[in-house]
Amino acid sequence: MNARSQGLVGGPPGDFFYLFIPNERHLALADAPPDQDLGKRIRAGGWIADWKILNFQLGPGLASDYLANSFAFRLCSDRLRNVLEEARGSVDMIQWLPARVWERNGPELVYWVLHFPVVTPVTSASKTKMAGPVIVKAVLDANLVEGHRIFSFPNDSVSLVLARHVKEAIEKSGCTGTEFSKLPIA
């Protein structure tokens, strides 16, 4: 049973949370050669049709489902991807871009870069704190987030915002490398 069949899509917005990677020494960092154009391309949005698999080398520590990486992309394991796909709202536009993470003396791990080809405005214009085009402190607008369950903000390759039921599904699944912080909503 998914979020759509549970009637979770289209109701009142409820609580939303940032998903971020906890600062824990035992979690590994995935590293890839620098590529400024690739970072700009992801932040610019739009559907990416000519993506080539991005290869990362796993550093010391444990690979997690939400994996810290040198690009600061939203890098998700198959398990986390499946949870997010099952829980997303019908209006949430998501593109999954393939990536590989290589362990030093181990197998290749399949990961996905979570990309938002279309980022709709969801913040309160009067209450969100901005520094130029950068969001310093987001306050969600209850009317604008209606129907959304997974989203980010414009020009942002890092932020990932989830509705409460998505957060709970991630926790229930046992996905690693996740921590949550509640966002204000007006």
pLDDT tens, 152-182?
A: 998 787 899 999 999 999 999 999 999 999 9
* CA proximity to 159, closest of 128, 14, 28: 128
Please tell me the distance from the alpha carbon of residue 106 to that of residue 98, in angstroms, as a whole number.
19
pLDDT of residue 177: 97
Quote the pTM value: 0.89
List Cα–Cα distances, 95 to 28, 46, 66, 170, in angstroms.
Answer: 25, 10, 16, 19
Q: Show me where the domains of the chain are located.
A: 16-182
Antiparallel, parallel or unpaired: β 66-69 and 75-77: antiparallel
> What local confidence, expressed as pLDDT, does residue 8 receive?
41
Which residues in the chain show pLDDT less than 70? 1-13
Rounded (10°) angle between helices 164-173 and 78-87: 150
32 phi, psi to nearest 5 deg: -135, 155
